[in-house]
Chains A and B, each alone.
Chain A
Amino acid sequence: MHELNIAGNIADMVRREMSERGLSQVEAISLRLGRMTDVNPDALSFGFGVITRDTELAGAKLIIEEIPVAAKCHQCEREFDVPEFSFSCPSCGSNAVRLIRGMELEIASLEVVENTSATSL
């Protein structure tokens, strides 16, 4: 259940952005979450709701975009989706492959009500 820690990291980062940008309220936080991160989106949303209760982030929604896993073959350079975590190249069969998508754990953007920000356009 490291999702609670990660929810705390997200809340800290958003608070920092808010103070740097002079925002008083954030409506939603858009997150990109790769399927290979071992982070459960439901547990993350639940944890985020719990730790932001009674804070300035109370009610802020976590919008999670799950990113499917994709890899690239070292041998033949083919890029391919990895739906079942089977990391061998569908073209040449090599399992010398590199993950190119699915490890994302990043805040993409914040949604704020217009005019709560002095700096946003």
Chain B
Amino acid sequence: MMDKIAIEKKVLSENDKLAGSLRERLTAHRILCLNLVSSPGSGKTSLLEKTIAALNSEFRIALIAGDVQTENDARRLKRAGGKVVFPIVTGGRCHLDARMVTSITDQLSLDDLDILLVENVGNLVCPSSYDLGEDMKVVLISTTEGDDKPLKYPGMFLRSSVMVINKIDLLGSSDFDMATVKQNARSINGQLIMFELSCRTGAGLAPWNQWLGEQAKRKRSR
């Protein structure tokens, strides 16, 4: 005879608990935290380079750069003017989790910080399961990718609050269609805030930087 024992427990409850307490700490210190996710090569590091350059003088920004191997992204962010940059080399793991981010924030002086930007591992699947304590997920997609990506990876687009469409300078060089990608994204998540920009030419960066600055100010005045 078999016995059934009810358990009713979430599998990622430990990660969620850590993420929850991290979120509380960051909010207590009025720090805006964004979790940047995308496929490899969509331009997360490039966007962060541009963001630092634009906002460094007004805000105190810390960056966490997750990568499967190498600290190349962290080096790039330092070169771009990042004052507080921490690499996380996951050593093959396909996502960041709340424990990794907590171990970094434990080393930060949270009183001296306005914005924490976390660059996740380039992957549109695995990072979606792991809450990092962020205020928002920002998903990037570039015009060299398929415009059906929101439909192929609905989990990530559903959990994100913002979609950044990068590499608009290359529009017309591929079959990527701006109206189609937006329509696909809206069918998954009607509340997505969208930005179109090119990190290479700088087109469209101003509205993104302005929005980010406003979010940080809003968080600071809470």
Q: Which residues of A contact B93 (CB under 8 A)?
A: 2, 5
* B residues near A60, Cβ cutoff 8 Å: none
Contact of A110 among B7, B14, B187, B188 (CB under 8 A): B7
Question: Which residue of B3, B14, B154 is within 8 Å of A36 (Cβ)?
Answer: B154
Asked if A9 contacts B12 (CB within 8 A), the reply is: yes
Whether B155 pairs with A2 at a CB distance below 8 angstroms is no
Per the bound structure, the CA–CA distance linking A27 and B151 in Å amounts to 38
Contact A36 B155 (CB under 8 A): yes
* B155 contacts A38, C-beta separation under 8 Å: yes
- A13-29 vs B, CB cutoff 8 Å, 1 = contact: the mask equals 10001000101000100
B179 sits at the interface (CB 8 A):
no
Which range contains the number of B residues in contact with the other chain?
20 to 34
Report whether A87 and B189 are in contact in the complex, using a CB–CB cutoff of 8 Å. Answer: yes
Q: Is the CB of B1 within 8 A of A113?
A: yes
Contact call A107/B126, Cβ cutoff below 8 A: no
Contact (Cβ within 8 A) A112 B5: yes
Chain B residue numbers with a CB within 8 Å of A39 are: 129
Tell me the nearest residue of chain B to A38, going by C-beta. Answer: B155
Chain A residues with CB under 8 A of B128? 38
Cα(A10)–Cα(B2), bound, Å: 21
B188 x A85 contact (CB < 8 A): yes
Cβ-neighbour of A113 out of B3, B126, B186 (below 8 A): B3
Interface pair A112/B2, CB less than 8 Å apart? yes
Across-interface contacts of B125 in A (CB, < 8 A) = 2, 38
Q: Could you tell me if B187 and A107 are in contact, using CB atoms closer than 8 angstroms?
A: no
Cα A93 to Cα B151 with chains together (Å): 19
Of the candidates A5, A6, A27, the one whose C-beta lies within 8 Å of that of B2 is A27
Contact across chains for A85 and B154 when beta carbons are under 8 A apart: yes
Please report which residues of chain A, range 66-121, place their CB below 8 angstroms from some CB of chain B when the two chains form the complex.
85-88, 94-97, 99, 105-114, 117, 120-121
B17-55: CB near A (< 8 Å → 1, else 0) gives 000000000000000000000000000000000000000
- Whether A37 touches B129, Cβ cut-off 8 Å, given contacts A107-B8, A109-B4, A111-B2, is yes
Beta-carbon contact of A111 and B189 below 8 Å: no
Q: How far, in angstroms, from A96 to B57 measured CA to CA in the complex?
A: 37
Cβ–Cβ < 8 Å partners of B5 in chain A: 17, 21, 23, 109-112, 117, 120
A108 touching B12 in the complex, CB below 8 Å, given contacts A6-B129, A38-B128: no
- A111 and B187 alpha carbons, distance in the complex (Å): 40
Inter-subunit contact A17/B155 (CB<8 Å): no
Q: Are A105 and B186 in contact (CB under 8 A)?
A: no
Q: Is the CB of A87 within 8 A of B1?
A: no
B5, closest chain A residue (CB): A110
| Cα–Cα distance between A96 and B4 once the two chains are bound (Å) | 40
Measured in the bound complex, the distance between the Cα atoms of B128 and A36 in whole Å is: 10
* A107 nearest in chain B by CB position: B7
Of B4, B129, B187, the contact of A2 (CB 8 Å cutoff): B129
List the interface of chain A (C-beta within 8 A of B).
Answer: 1-2, 5-6, 9-10, 13, 17, 21, 23, 27, 31, 36-39, 85-88, 94-97, 99, 105-114, 117, 120-121
A-B contact pairs, 12 of them (CB 8 A): A38-B126, A85-B151, A85-B187, A87-B187, A87-B189, A94-B190, A96-B191, A108-B7, A111-B4, A113-B1, A114-B3, A117-B3
